[in-house]
């Protein structure tokens, strides 16, 4: 009888390397937050009302906080992120990045299609004659340098983590997040002083859509890396287990 009980108890134990996630409200809430945020953005574009967009943004932040909290607990406290699970997470992130590439390719193609084949709406010229361009070698060039520098500091932090240099890891992450925040401030200044608005033609629409979504991605990335910085300060990032940092980077 004891042998049978022992055999039955083994069936209840975890005998595989995979992680079967617990029921979670975050996917459904995240979908709702994304829909409200998108609807709020459309409402703002047409009526200048931004309350719905703020609600969507707040719901998104709540989802990010709760979901990341649960994932950190799974990986750091419960040890659910085995080598097999980490490999699956990496593949998932790669597929997500591939979808992001196609997402931005659509905006770039809209810009290239309008610039390569100008129509009567732009007097068959590109850029349109009534558009005052932002000088490429001023704020846009500065922001490009900021992004390149943040990539270098993020790589430095990753290299330090692999060698278990916690001091350099923290400095690298802090500089990366700081450069991301500076980038967003410069982009905000650039938007505030742009000589054209969102609804003033194909040039301005594609400009604000592409750079605006890019700025949104930088915002999410800075938050993501900020969470990694907090975890690094708590000593939670290890050389052999830092899939969250890799995804953020």
- 206 belongs to a structural domain: no
Residue-range definition of the domain harbouring residue 68: 24-80
Q: Omega before 127 cis (within 30°)?
A: yes
In a domain, 42, yes or no: yes
* Residue 46: CATH number of its domain: 1.10.287.70
Residue-wise burial string across 57-69, b where 16 or more C-beta atoms lie within 10 A, e elsewhere: bebbeebbeebbe
Q: How far apart are the first and last CA of the chain?
A: 54
Q: 23-56 pLDDT, tens per residue?
A: 899 999 999 999 999 999 889 888 888 899 999 9
Contact residues for 189 (Cβ-Cβ < 8 A; gap 6+): 139
How far is residue 73 CA from its own chain's centroid? Answer: 21
Most confident of the ranges 9-18, 78-87, 212-221: 212-221
158 vs 243: CA distance, rounded Å: 11
How far, in Å, CA of 223 to CA of 220, rounded? 5
Residue 40 belongs to some domain of the structure = yes
Looking at residue 126, the DSSP 8-state letter turns out to be S
Please state, in angstroms and rounded to a whole number, the distance separating the CA atoms of residues 83 and 91.
13
Kindly tell me if the per-residue pLDDT of 141 is higher than 80: yes
The answer to whether residue 51 is domain-embedded is: yes
What are φ and ψ of residue 81, in 5° steps?
A: -90, 75
Place of tokens 């200044």: 189
Q: Residue 34: inside a domain, yes or no? A: yes
The owner of tokens 């997470």 is 89
- Whether residue 73 is contained in a domain is answered as yes
Q: Quick check: helix, strand or coil at residue 238?
A: strand
Predicted local confidence at residue 29, as pLDDT: 95
pLDDT at 8: 45
How many domains does the structure of the chain reveal? 1
Question: Is 175 a member of any domain?
Answer: no
> What is the C-alpha separation between 103 and 226, in angstroms, rounded?
25
Asked if residue 221 is part of any domain, the answer here is no
pTM for this predicted structure:
0.78
Radius of gyration of the chain (CA): 23
């Amino acid at each position: 009888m004891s042998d049978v009980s022992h055999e039955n108890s083994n069936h209840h134990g975890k005998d595989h390397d995979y992680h079967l996630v617990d029921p979670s409200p975050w996917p459904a809430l995240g979908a709702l937050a994304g829909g409200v945020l998108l609807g709020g953005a459309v409402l703002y574009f047409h009526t200048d009302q931004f309350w719905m967009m703020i609600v969507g943004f707040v719901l998104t932040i709540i989802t990010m906080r709760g979901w990341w909290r649960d994932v950190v607990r799974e990986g750091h406290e419960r040890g659910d992120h085995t080598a097999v699970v980490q490999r699956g997470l990496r593949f998932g992130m790669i597929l997500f990045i591939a979808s992001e590439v196609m997402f931005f390719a659509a905006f770039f193609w809209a810009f290239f299609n309008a610039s390569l084949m100008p129509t009567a709406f732009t007097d068959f010229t590109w850029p349109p004659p009534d558009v005052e361009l932002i000088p490429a070698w001023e704020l846009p060039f500065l922001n490009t340098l900021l992004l390149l520098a943040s990539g270098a500091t993020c790589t430095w932090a990753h290299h330090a983590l692999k060698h278990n240099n916690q001091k350099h890891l923290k400095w690298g992450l802090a500089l990366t997040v700081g450069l991301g925040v500076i980038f967003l401030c410069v982009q905000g200044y650039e938007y505030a002083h742009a000589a054209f608005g969102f609804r003033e033609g194909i040039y301005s629409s594609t400009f604000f859509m592409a750079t605006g979504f890019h700025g949104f991605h930088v915002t999410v990335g800075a938050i993501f890396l900020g969470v990694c910085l907090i975890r690094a300060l708590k000593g939670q990032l290890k050389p052999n287990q830092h899939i969250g940092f890799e995804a953020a980077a």
